[in-house]
Amino acid sequence: MPETHPHRVTVIGGGPAGLMAAEVLSQAGVHVDLYDGMPSVGRKFLLAGVGGMNITHCEAYPAFVSRYAERAAQMAPLLRGFGAEALCEWIHGLGIQTFVGTSGRIFPTDMKAAPLLRAWLKRLRDQGVVIHTRHRWTGWNADGDLLIHSPDGEKTLRSDAVLLALGGGSWSRLGSDGAWLNLLEGKGVPYVRLQPSNCGFEVSAWSELMVSKFAARR
């Protein structure tokens, strides 16, 4: 890494959010160590690839941003900075081609996540990102250092900044179990309760049979 930029950032979580953070930081010359509790990174991302890997949608920006409903105003500047087109360019830059499906959704041509993840991890390693798997963040010690549970035992870490990219609370067998909420709550960090956000639907007049079989309890 350039000696003129000695900052070290710890990214915890190796899903797409953590990997993208690591990419942007390392591109800026920051030294990045990325930690994930699982034996490999991107496990939920790979599972998404099993179902066809919908990357984004080709509709024009005004319609696209309106899909975020009450969060549209918050999302608008983010999508202007890195929207659907930029995402496609980014994927093409990793050597993965895309196509637009009949629904307008955009997919990698081979509809898989693994080749994309492989190319992405190579780019990150080439940029100097150090990836530590089987390293689970469990909180802080009294000095404010990070506590990490690893195959070599308990470790403590200190860096210039820490970026948490720990995923939501579904598919815990892939690593994202939402346990981090308790850690942040213990520190008094305000948070929004986790809730499903992949799709929304309204239920009207379900039969007793449907309710008994499929209605989730809060």
Ligand X SMILES: Cc1cc2nc3c(=O)[nH]c(=O)nc-3n(C[C@H](O)[C@H](O)[C@H](O)COP(=O)(O)OP(=O)(O)OC[C@H]3O[C@@H](n4cnc5c(N)ncnc54)[C@H](O)[C@@H]3O)c2cc1C
Q: How far is the CB of 38 from ligand X (least distance, A)?
A: 4
Binding ligand X by CB under 6 A: which of 9, 11, 18, 31? 18
Tell me which residue of 117, 109, 126, 103 sits closest to 27, measured CA to CA: 126
When asked if residue 31 is in the footprint of ligand X (CB under 6 A), the reply is no
When asked if residue 129 is in the footprint of ligand X (CB under 6 A), the reply is no
When asked if residue 117 is in the footprint of ligand X (CB under 6 A), the reply is no
Which is nearer to ligand X, 21 or 30 (by Cβ)?
21
Binding ligand X by CB under 6 A: which of 37, 64, 96, 131? 37
When asked if residue 88 is in the footprint of ligand X (CB under 6 A), the reply is no
The mark string for 133-172 relative to ligand X (x by CB under 6 A, - otherwise) is ---xx---------------------------xxx---x-
Give CA 162 to chain center in angstroms. 15
Q: How far is the CB of 212 from ligand X (least distance, A)?
A: 25
Which H or E run includes 211? helix 208-214
Q: Which residues contact 163 (CB under 8 A, 6 or more apart)?
A: 9, 10, 11, 12, 18, 21, 25
When asked if residue 54 is in the footprint of ligand X (CB under 6 A), the reply is yes
Name the one range near ligand X by CB under 6 A: 51-59, 69-77, 86-94, 199-207: 51-59
Amino acid (one-letter) located at 44: K
Which is nearer to ligand X, 30 or 131 (by Cβ)?
131
Binding to ligand X, residues 174-193 (CB under 6 A): 175-176, 180
One DSSP character per residue, 59-128 reads S-HHHHHHTTGGGHHHHHHHHHHS-HHHHHHHHHHTT--EEE-TTSEEEETT--SHHHHHHHHHHHHHTT
Name the one range near ligand X by CB under 6 A: 43-51, 86-94, 124-132, 188-196: 43-51
Burial class (CB in 10 A: 0-12, 13-18, 19+), 114: middle
Q: How far is the CB of 76 from ligand X (least distance, A)?
A: 19
Confirm if 34 and 25 have CB atoms less than 8 A apart: no
Which is nearer to ligand X, 129 or 166 (by Cβ)?
166
Footprint on this chain of ligand X (rule: CB under 6 A): 12-18, 35-38, 41, 43-45, 47-48, 51, 53-54, 136-137, 165-167, 171, 175-176, 180
